[in-house]
Amino acid sequence: FFGVVLCNSTMSLAQSRSAAVCLGAFLEGFVEHVEGLVQELRRKEQEYTQTQAEVAALNQQQHDVQWLNVGGGLYHTGREVLQRAEGSMLSVIASNEFLCDADLEGYTFFDRDNKWFPLILTYLREGRAMLPNDERERDAIFREARFYCLGSLCRAAKQRQCIVVVGSSRGNRSVQIYDPIQCLWKGNRVSFSTNRYNFGSCIIDDGFFLAGGFDWHTFKISSSVERFSASTGDWTAIAALPMPTVRCSLVFLNGQLLVIGGLDPHYPFDHVQCFDMASRTWQQLPRLLRPRWDAASCVVDGRVIVVGGLTPGHRPACSAEEYLPAEHRWQALPDMPTARRGAAAVALDGRLLV
Protein backbone atom coordinates (compact mmCIF):
# COMPACT_ATOMS: atom_id res chain seq x y z
CA PHE A 1 0.00 0.00 0.00
CA PHE A 2 2.86 2.34 0.83
CA GLY A 3 4.38 1.66 -2.57
CA VAL A 4 1.08 2.39 -4.22
CA VAL A 5 0.90 5.74 -2.47
CA LEU A 6 4.37 6.75 -3.71
CA CYS A 7 3.75 5.72 -7.29
CA ASN A 8 0.44 7.48 -7.66
CA SER A 9 1.63 10.90 -8.84
CA THR A 10 -1.88 12.14 -9.41
CA MET A 11 -2.72 11.90 -5.67
CA SER A 12 -2.84 15.27 -3.92
CA LEU A 13 -0.56 16.17 -1.06
CA ALA A 14 -3.48 16.19 1.36
CA GLN A 15 -4.51 12.76 0.25
CA SER A 16 -0.94 11.53 0.63
CA ARG A 17 -0.78 12.86 4.19
CA SER A 18 -4.11 11.23 5.02
CA ALA A 19 -2.93 7.94 3.57
CA ALA A 20 0.30 8.16 5.58
CA VAL A 21 -1.68 8.73 8.78
CA CYS A 22 -3.86 5.73 8.02
CA LEU A 23 -0.81 3.68 7.23
CA GLY A 24 0.83 4.71 10.54
CA ALA A 25 -2.28 3.79 12.49
CA PHE A 26 -2.46 0.49 10.68
CA LEU A 27 1.18 -0.31 11.41
CA GLU A 28 0.78 0.70 15.08
CA GLY A 29 -2.20 -1.59 15.45
CA PHE A 30 -0.39 -4.34 13.61
CA VAL A 31 2.62 -4.05 15.93
CA GLU A 32 0.37 -4.15 19.01
CA HIS A 33 -1.36 -7.21 17.60
CA VAL A 34 1.96 -8.95 16.96
CA GLU A 35 3.19 -8.05 20.47
CA GLY A 36 -0.02 -9.47 21.90
CA LEU A 37 0.50 -12.67 19.95
CA VAL A 38 4.08 -12.86 21.21
CA GLN A 39 2.95 -12.40 24.82
CA GLU A 40 0.24 -15.01 24.39
CA LEU A 41 2.77 -17.37 22.86
CA ARG A 42 5.12 -16.82 25.79
CA ARG A 43 2.28 -17.42 28.25
CA LYS A 44 1.34 -20.63 26.46
CA GLU A 45 4.99 -21.62 26.47
CA GLN A 46 5.21 -21.01 30.24
CA GLU A 47 2.03 -23.00 30.82
CA TYR A 48 3.40 -25.81 28.71
CA THR A 49 6.71 -25.77 30.60
CA GLN A 50 4.87 -25.77 33.94
CA THR A 51 2.57 -28.59 32.85
CA GLN A 52 5.55 -30.52 31.56
CA ALA A 53 7.29 -30.08 34.94
CA GLU A 54 4.15 -31.16 36.81
CA VAL A 55 3.84 -34.24 34.62
CA ALA A 56 7.50 -35.06 35.20
CA ALA A 57 7.07 -34.57 38.96
CA LEU A 58 3.97 -36.75 38.93
CA ASN A 59 5.81 -39.43 37.01
CA GLN A 60 8.66 -39.18 39.50
CA GLN A 61 6.21 -39.44 42.38
CA GLN A 62 4.62 -42.47 40.80
CA HIS A 63 8.07 -43.95 40.44
CA ASP A 64 8.92 -43.08 44.08
CA VAL A 65 5.73 -44.57 45.52
CA GLN A 66 6.26 -47.86 47.31
CA TRP A 67 3.33 -50.28 47.26
CA LEU A 68 3.26 -52.57 50.29
CA ASN A 69 1.01 -55.45 51.28
CA VAL A 70 1.44 -56.01 55.02
CA GLY A 71 -0.59 -58.98 56.19
CA GLY A 72 -3.35 -58.22 53.69
CA GLY A 73 -3.40 -54.48 54.37
CA LEU A 74 -2.47 -52.33 51.36
CA TYR A 75 -0.30 -49.26 51.88
CA HIS A 76 1.11 -46.62 49.55
CA THR A 77 3.96 -44.42 50.75
CA GLY A 78 6.95 -42.61 49.32
CA ARG A 79 10.35 -44.20 49.12
CA GLU A 80 11.72 -41.14 50.89
CA VAL A 81 9.56 -41.94 53.93
CA LEU A 82 10.83 -45.50 54.14
CA GLN A 83 14.43 -44.33 53.75
CA ARG A 84 14.26 -42.02 56.78
CA ALA A 85 15.18 -44.88 59.11
CA GLU A 86 18.65 -45.50 57.73
CA GLY A 87 19.74 -49.11 57.94
CA SER A 88 16.24 -50.47 58.51
CA MET A 89 14.69 -53.21 56.40
CA LEU A 90 12.21 -50.73 54.94
CA SER A 91 14.97 -48.33 53.86
CA VAL A 92 16.78 -51.19 52.12
CA ILE A 93 13.62 -52.25 50.29
CA ALA A 94 13.02 -48.65 49.18
CA SER A 95 16.55 -48.30 47.79
CA ASN A 96 17.31 -48.76 44.11
CA GLU A 97 19.89 -51.38 45.02
CA PHE A 98 17.31 -53.85 46.28
CA LEU A 99 15.24 -55.83 43.79
CA CYS A 100 12.26 -57.45 45.49
CA ASP A 101 9.53 -59.62 44.06
CA ALA A 102 6.15 -57.94 43.70
CA ASP A 103 2.76 -59.39 42.86
CA LEU A 104 0.88 -58.70 39.62
CA GLU A 105 -0.44 -55.41 40.99
CA GLY A 106 3.01 -54.24 42.08
CA TYR A 107 2.74 -54.81 45.85
CA THR A 108 5.62 -56.10 47.96
CA PHE A 109 4.25 -58.56 50.52
CA PHE A 110 5.19 -58.81 54.22
CA ASP A 111 3.74 -61.62 56.29
CA ARG A 112 3.29 -59.42 59.38
CA ASP A 113 0.44 -58.14 61.55
CA ASN A 114 -0.95 -55.11 59.70
CA LYS A 115 -2.57 -53.77 62.89
CA TRP A 116 0.65 -51.99 63.86
CA PHE A 117 1.98 -50.95 60.45
CA PRO A 118 0.05 -47.62 60.37
CA LEU A 119 1.79 -46.72 63.64
CA ILE A 120 5.15 -47.56 62.06
CA LEU A 121 4.39 -45.36 59.04
CA THR A 122 3.31 -42.51 61.33
CA TYR A 123 6.56 -42.87 63.24
CA LEU A 124 8.58 -42.65 60.01
CA ARG A 125 6.60 -39.68 58.69
CA GLU A 126 6.29 -37.58 61.85
CA GLY A 127 9.12 -38.86 64.03
CA ARG A 128 6.88 -39.70 67.00
CA ALA A 129 5.41 -42.98 68.14
CA MET A 130 1.72 -43.16 69.10
CA LEU A 131 2.31 -45.92 71.61
CA PRO A 132 -0.52 -47.54 73.59
CA ASN A 133 -0.39 -47.86 77.37
CA ASP A 134 -1.13 -51.58 77.41
CA GLU A 135 2.10 -53.52 77.99
CA ARG A 136 1.11 -56.42 75.72
CA GLU A 137 0.39 -54.04 72.86
CA ARG A 138 3.70 -52.26 73.43
CA ASP A 139 5.44 -55.64 73.34
CA ALA A 140 3.72 -56.36 70.00
CA ILE A 141 4.97 -53.03 68.63
CA PHE A 142 8.44 -53.84 69.91
CA ARG A 143 8.41 -57.14 67.98
CA GLU A 144 7.28 -55.40 64.79
CA ALA A 145 9.89 -52.66 65.18
CA ARG A 146 12.58 -55.27 65.78
CA PHE A 147 11.51 -57.15 62.63
CA TYR A 148 11.86 -53.99 60.52
CA CYS A 149 15.15 -53.11 62.30
CA LEU A 150 13.77 -49.81 63.65
CA GLY A 151 16.08 -49.43 66.63
CA SER A 152 14.75 -46.06 67.80
CA LEU A 153 11.16 -47.34 67.82
CA CYS A 154 12.30 -50.44 69.72
CA ARG A 155 13.76 -48.21 72.41
CA ALA A 156 10.64 -46.06 72.47
CA ALA A 157 8.43 -49.12 72.95
CA LYS A 158 10.52 -50.29 75.90
CA GLN A 159 11.21 -46.99 77.59
CA ARG A 160 8.61 -45.32 79.81
CA GLN A 161 10.31 -42.02 80.52
CA CYS A 162 7.85 -39.20 81.12
CA ILE A 163 7.25 -35.92 82.92
CA VAL A 164 4.67 -36.00 85.71
CA VAL A 165 2.77 -33.02 87.14
CA VAL A 166 0.92 -33.82 90.37
CA GLY A 167 -1.66 -31.74 92.22
CA SER A 168 -1.60 -27.98 92.81
CA SER A 169 -1.60 -25.41 95.60
CA ARG A 170 -5.41 -25.53 95.66
CA GLY A 171 -5.67 -29.19 96.50
CA ASN A 172 -6.07 -30.49 92.96
CA ARG A 173 -5.59 -34.28 93.08
CA SER A 174 -5.06 -34.78 89.36
CA VAL A 175 -2.03 -36.39 87.75
CA GLN A 176 -0.90 -35.24 84.30
CA ILE A 177 1.74 -37.20 82.41
CA TYR A 178 3.72 -35.87 79.44
CA ASP A 179 5.10 -38.49 77.07
CA PRO A 180 8.09 -36.96 75.20
CA ILE A 181 8.02 -39.74 72.60
CA GLN A 182 4.38 -39.22 71.69
CA CYS A 183 4.50 -35.45 72.43
CA LEU A 184 1.24 -35.73 74.35
CA TRP A 185 -0.14 -34.86 77.77
CA LYS A 186 -2.33 -37.51 79.38
CA GLY A 187 -4.53 -37.23 82.45
CA ASN A 188 -4.46 -40.19 84.81
CA ARG A 189 -7.84 -41.75 85.51
CA VAL A 190 -7.07 -42.26 89.24
CA SER A 191 -6.32 -39.28 91.50
CA PHE A 192 -4.41 -39.67 94.72
CA SER A 193 -6.60 -40.29 97.75
CA THR A 194 -5.69 -37.34 99.97
CA ASN A 195 -6.64 -33.85 98.82
CA ARG A 196 -3.25 -32.43 99.77
CA TYR A 197 -0.77 -29.72 98.89
CA ASN A 198 2.78 -28.78 99.96
CA PHE A 199 3.64 -32.48 99.93
CA GLY A 200 6.95 -34.15 99.12
CA SER A 201 7.49 -36.34 96.07
CA CYS A 202 10.17 -38.37 94.33
CA ILE A 203 10.48 -40.49 91.20
CA ILE A 204 11.16 -44.23 91.14
CA ASP A 205 11.62 -46.56 88.17
CA ASP A 206 7.93 -47.38 87.77
CA GLY A 207 6.27 -44.30 89.21
CA PHE A 208 6.66 -41.99 92.19
CA PHE A 209 5.90 -41.45 95.89
CA LEU A 210 3.90 -38.71 97.63
CA ALA A 211 4.22 -38.03 101.35
CA GLY A 212 2.91 -35.55 103.91
CA GLY A 213 1.47 -32.16 103.03
CA PHE A 214 -1.56 -30.19 104.18
CA ASP A 215 -5.06 -31.61 103.84
CA TRP A 216 -6.92 -29.06 101.71
CA HIS A 217 -10.22 -29.47 103.62
CA THR A 218 -9.03 -29.66 107.24
CA PHE A 219 -5.69 -27.82 106.88
CA LYS A 220 -4.18 -30.50 109.08
CA ILE A 221 -0.81 -32.03 108.31
CA SER A 222 -1.20 -35.37 106.56
CA SER A 223 0.75 -38.46 107.54
CA SER A 224 -0.28 -40.47 104.48
CA VAL A 225 2.21 -41.85 101.97
CA GLU A 226 1.14 -43.10 98.53
CA ARG A 227 2.87 -44.79 95.65
CA PHE A 228 1.83 -44.38 92.01
CA SER A 229 2.59 -47.13 89.47
CA ALA A 230 3.00 -45.86 85.91
CA SER A 231 2.53 -49.34 84.42
CA THR A 232 -0.87 -49.92 86.04
CA GLY A 233 -2.00 -46.34 86.67
CA ASP A 234 -2.94 -47.29 90.26
CA TRP A 235 -2.20 -45.76 93.65
CA THR A 236 -1.12 -47.82 96.67
CA ALA A 237 -1.20 -46.61 100.27
CA ILE A 238 2.04 -46.98 102.24
CA ALA A 239 2.36 -47.08 106.03
CA ALA A 240 1.69 -43.64 107.53
CA LEU A 241 4.53 -41.33 108.52
CA PRO A 242 5.52 -41.62 112.19
CA MET A 243 5.87 -37.81 112.26
CA PRO A 244 3.57 -35.97 109.83
CA THR A 245 5.31 -33.19 107.94
CA VAL A 246 4.83 -30.68 105.12
CA ARG A 247 7.24 -29.19 102.60
CA CYS A 248 9.56 -32.14 103.05
CA SER A 249 11.77 -33.60 100.33
CA LEU A 250 11.88 -37.26 99.27
CA VAL A 251 14.49 -39.54 97.74
CA PHE A 252 14.46 -43.27 97.00
CA LEU A 253 17.66 -45.28 97.36
CA ASN A 254 18.39 -49.01 97.66
CA GLY A 255 14.78 -49.98 98.33
CA GLN A 256 14.28 -47.28 100.96
CA LEU A 257 12.16 -44.13 100.88
CA LEU A 258 13.72 -41.19 102.76
CA VAL A 259 11.45 -38.36 103.93
CA ILE A 260 13.84 -35.52 104.69
CA GLY A 261 13.15 -32.51 106.88
CA GLY A 262 10.00 -30.50 106.45
CA LEU A 263 7.80 -28.58 108.84
CA ASP A 264 5.35 -29.48 111.58
CA PRO A 265 2.66 -26.94 112.51
CA HIS A 266 5.17 -24.78 114.39
CA TYR A 267 8.78 -25.86 113.93
CA PRO A 268 11.14 -26.92 111.13
CA PHE A 269 12.27 -30.53 111.06
CA ASP A 270 15.74 -31.97 111.05
CA HIS A 271 14.33 -35.51 111.15
CA VAL A 272 14.96 -38.06 108.40
CA GLN A 273 12.29 -40.77 108.27
CA CYS A 274 13.15 -43.93 106.33
CA PHE A 275 10.65 -46.51 105.04
CA ASP A 276 12.11 -49.89 104.09
CA MET A 277 10.13 -51.45 101.22
CA ALA A 278 11.21 -54.99 102.17
CA SER A 279 10.31 -54.92 105.87
CA ARG A 280 7.45 -52.40 105.40
CA THR A 281 8.57 -50.50 108.48
CA TRP A 282 9.68 -46.96 109.34
CA GLN A 283 12.89 -46.09 111.12
CA GLN A 284 14.68 -42.88 112.03
CA LEU A 285 17.98 -42.03 110.36
CA PRO A 286 20.52 -39.56 111.76
CA ARG A 287 19.20 -36.03 111.86
CA LEU A 288 20.20 -33.33 109.39
CA LEU A 289 22.99 -30.95 110.36
CA ARG A 290 20.38 -28.20 110.44
CA PRO A 291 16.56 -28.15 110.24
CA ARG A 292 15.26 -27.19 106.82
CA TRP A 293 12.09 -27.28 104.75
CA ASP A 294 11.38 -26.46 101.10
CA ALA A 295 14.80 -28.01 100.44
CA ALA A 296 15.82 -29.92 97.31
CA SER A 297 17.08 -33.49 97.58
CA CYS A 298 18.59 -35.80 95.01
CA VAL A 299 20.55 -39.04 94.68
CA VAL A 300 23.82 -38.55 92.79
CA ASP A 301 25.84 -41.71 92.13
CA GLY A 302 24.33 -43.37 95.19
CA ARG A 303 24.84 -40.31 97.42
CA VAL A 304 21.90 -38.52 99.08
CA ILE A 305 22.42 -34.75 98.86
CA VAL A 306 20.16 -32.07 100.38
CA VAL A 307 20.56 -28.41 99.37
CA GLY A 308 18.96 -25.08 100.19
CA GLY A 309 15.50 -24.65 101.65
CA LEU A 310 14.35 -22.51 104.56
CA THR A 311 16.05 -22.69 107.94
CA PRO A 312 14.93 -21.35 111.33
CA GLY A 313 14.32 -17.64 110.88
CA HIS A 314 12.63 -18.31 107.51
CA ARG A 315 15.76 -17.43 105.59
CA PRO A 316 16.67 -19.21 102.33
CA ALA A 317 19.77 -21.33 102.76
CA CYS A 318 22.76 -21.84 100.52
CA SER A 319 24.10 -24.74 102.60
CA ALA A 320 24.25 -28.35 101.43
CA GLU A 321 24.86 -31.68 103.13
CA GLU A 322 25.40 -35.30 102.17
CA TYR A 323 24.35 -38.52 103.91
CA LEU A 324 27.03 -41.19 104.40
CA PRO A 325 25.19 -44.52 104.92
CA ALA A 326 28.34 -46.45 105.81
CA GLU A 327 29.15 -43.99 108.60
CA HIS A 328 25.54 -43.35 109.52
CA ARG A 329 25.94 -39.58 109.52
CA TRP A 330 25.57 -36.38 107.53
CA GLN A 331 28.48 -34.23 106.42
CA ALA A 332 28.53 -30.66 105.15
CA LEU A 333 29.21 -29.85 101.51
CA PRO A 334 30.37 -26.53 100.04
CA ASP A 335 27.69 -23.84 100.02
CA MET A 336 25.86 -22.98 96.84
CA PRO A 337 26.73 -19.59 95.31
CA THR A 338 23.11 -18.48 95.78
CA ALA A 339 20.59 -19.36 98.48
CA ARG A 340 17.57 -21.30 97.19
CA ARG A 341 14.20 -22.37 98.53
CA GLY A 342 11.59 -24.46 96.73
CA ALA A 343 14.18 -25.30 94.07
CA ALA A 344 14.45 -28.48 92.00
CA ALA A 345 17.52 -30.71 91.94
CA VAL A 346 18.47 -33.33 89.34
CA ALA A 347 21.47 -35.55 88.77
CA LEU A 348 23.25 -35.40 85.41
CA ASP A 349 26.45 -37.28 84.56
CA GLY A 350 27.55 -37.45 88.19
CA ARG A 351 26.77 -33.79 88.85
CA LEU A 352 24.02 -32.10 90.87
CA LEU A 353 22.03 -29.40 89.08
CA VAL A 354 19.89 -27.03 91.19
What is the DSSP code string of 199-231?
-EEEEETTEEEEE--EETTT-PBP--EEEEETT
Does the pLDDT at position 287 exceed 50? Answer: yes
Mean pLDDT in residue range 82-111: 79
- Shortest CA distance to 345 belongs to which of 298, 302, 299? 298
Where is pLDDT greater, at 31 or 262? 262
The pLDDT value given to residue 160: 63
74 shares a domain with 58: no
Does the pLDDT at position 156 exceed 70? Answer: yes
Mean pLDDT in residue range 117-131: 85
| CA distance linking residue 190 with residue 175, whole number of Å | 8
Q: SS3 for 234? A: strand
102 shares a domain with 57: no
138 shares a domain with 7: no
Mean pLDDT in residue range 121-145: 83
Residues 6+ apart with CB under 8 A from 167: 173, 174, 175, 192, 196, 197, 199
329 shares a domain with 222: yes
Q: Is residue 43 part of a domain?
A: yes
Distance of alpha carbon 109 from its chain centroid, rounded? 33
Q: Is residue 180 part of a domain?
A: no
| CA distance linking residue 173 with residue 199, whole number of Å | 12
* Total structural domains within the chain: 3
300 shares a domain with 257: yes
Mean pLDDT of the chain: 84
52 shares a domain with 82: no
Question: Tell me, what DSSP letter sits at residue 241?
Answer: P
> 24, 45, 62 — which closes off a domain?
62
Where do runs of H (alpha helix) occur along the chain?
Answer: 2-7, 13-64, 79-82, 89-94, 117-126, 135-147, 151-158
Adjacency order of strands within the sheet including 225-229: 200-204, 207-211, 225-229, 234-238
Does the pLDDT at position 209 exceed 70? Answer: yes
Instruction: List, for residues 15-29, the tens digit of each pLDDT value.
Output: 777 777 787 777 888
Q: Is residue 172 part of a domain?
A: no
Residue type at 193? S
| CA distance linking residue 297 with residue 307, whole number of Å | 6
> 15, 35, 62 — which closes off a domain?
62
Whether the CB-CB separation of 102 and 155 falls below 8 Å is answered with: no
Q: Is residue 182 part of a domain?
A: no
Q: Is residue 288 part of a domain?
A: yes
Instruction: List, for residues 223-258, the tens digit of each pLDDT value.
Output: 999 998 876 778 889 999 999 999 999 999 999 999
297 shares a domain with 232: yes
212 shares a domain with 124: no
101 shares a domain with 32: no
The domain of 280 spans 192-353
